[in-house]
Amino acid sequence: MASLSAGHSVPAGTGARRDGSSKAQGANAEVAVQQSAGPDPYFPDNGDSRYRVHRYELMLDYRPGPNRLAGTARINAIAGRVPLTEFMLNLADFRIGRIRVDGRQPHYTHRGGRLRVKPAKPIRAGAAFTVEVHWSGNPKPVTSPWGGIGWEELSDGALVASQPIGAPSWYPCNDRPADKASYLISVTTPSAYAVVSGGRLLTRTTKASTTTWVYEQSAPTSSYLVGLAIGKFQTVLLGDPGPGGVPQHGHIPAHLLPEFSRDFARQPAMMELFQELFGPYPFEEYAVAVTEEELDVPVEAQGLSLFGANHVDGARGSERLVAHELAHQWFGNCVSIADWRHIWLNEGFAKYAEWLWSERSGGRSAQQLAAAAHRLLAGLPQDLRLADPGRRSMFDDRLYERGGLAVHAVRCALGDDAFFRMLRGWVRSHRNGTVTTAAFVEHVTQFADESPAALFEAWVYGAQLPPLPTLQDAPRTFFLGRRRSPGPETSF
């Protein structure tokens, strides 16, 4: 778990396309609801499977000094297969100013982080509807088994790291990973502060002593992946993306710029490699933000990763984590899990991306890193099953290491050519959607000469640690096209 400021913490490791318009696609929405029906088994109090959101428009005003947040949310949603006589949003202990459903005042209750809304008139099955919520108060992390998660007041600014259930700490949402929506986020703060969020910055408007920042995230996004950082940042471009490239920006305290310029210099090379191996970067832009305070580990959001000052040392001491968070943009963010039982599909691939970057950039090979992980796991309790680790163990270090080993085992079984075709196909087939372990098994089977059932039974469904898988191909032979050097350090 990742310690933030003030003793609060967030979990470690972090780590049906809609166009963002208000027009509902009833049939597609019905299928989506049907596929993700039922509460999340790990967090049954979070989210409501009776409807889906396809767009959030959040208008926020935040004052860092008193830690005061006032917000308005316009939520465009679609009912499921049965009429909605009531529905639920997750929202922490704020004061509710006003609620409207399709312009009419509903009945509602707000207790225990659950905002239950009973519309004045039932919403028919498959119908689009709009919810407007006004709220205000002092945001703070929500309580979780891993400590406080979500909105974190810093010594001079704020940070949002919501995995897995922290999104309601700052806005009303259908807080389940399978419910992905587009976002428009407007944040007004004193002009001394910058606001960083995932997506594209549309406008920045200064009036008197305040500035309003407006971001658009058009790609479907899980509620926990909406990131935000408010602070006094200097913004730099990470390399020149060139025609058709991915804009990459860093937002850091000015005094950390010399160290940052070395620690993140090779991120553009990572982006190039991961696009080669995983397919095109799935979003419009990518940003990293570094806070003045320390975090145990970085945390990913969609189109954005958040790092602590302790991850910037000028010696590339956290470079594997730079690779890990970038890889989550494909695995976890673009291709998201249907519920939290399948979290190894996020973390196993991000861990393996660390090993691939090491192999590519002249460090230890994936086989050597797999062997080190195997030795580590061999000395630890062997009672964790990747396919369903349980809520208590979903952020256990063993899940990350064993997840990486499971991906390595698939690579060893398929061979490099089929393995990397399989990876690119996985992202392409499930772009902007949600997946399960069973779906991954089915996908891998399409690329295997022999049934991989025994492999998955051992590595994913079983608890006992299998023997170390061995890659037969020589290291560093898997790259498509010509071999490239990691590239020169980026200057800012």
C-alpha dist (Å) from residue 142 to 109, 123, 332, 447: 19, 30, 22, 43
Complete domains list, the chain, with CATH: 2-225 (2.60.40.1730), 336-461 (1.10.390.10)
Which pLDDT tens digit goes with each residue over 131-141?
Answer: 999 999 999 99
Backbone angles phi, psi at 114, to 5 degrees: -120, 120
pTM reported for the whole predicted model: 0.89
The C-alpha atoms of residue 162 and residue 473 are separated, in whole angstroms, by: 40
- Can you give the pLDDT at residue 489? 37
Known binding residue 107? Answer is no
Locate tokens 């639920």: which residue? 88
Cβ-based neighbour number of residue 473 at 10 Å: 14
Residue 478 has pLDDT above 90, yes or no: no
Residue 239: pLDDT band (50, 70, 90) is confident
Angle subtended at Cα 190 by Cα 188 and Cα 191, rounded to the nearest 5 degrees: 100
Q: 407-431 pLDDT, tens per residue?
A: 999 999 999 999 999 999 999 999 9
Residue type at 270 in one-letter notation: M
What pLDDT shows up at residue 473? 54
**Amino acid (one-letter) located at 363:** G
324 marked among binding-site residues: yes
Q: Which residues are catalytic?
A: 325, 400
Confidence of residue 296 (pLDDT cuts 50, 70, 90): confident
Q: How confident is the model at residue 37 (pLDDT cuts 50, 70, 90)?
A: low
Pair 141, 113: CB distance under 8 Å: no
The answer to whether 110 is annotated as binding is no
User: What are the residues facing 150 on neighbouring strands?
Assistant: 161
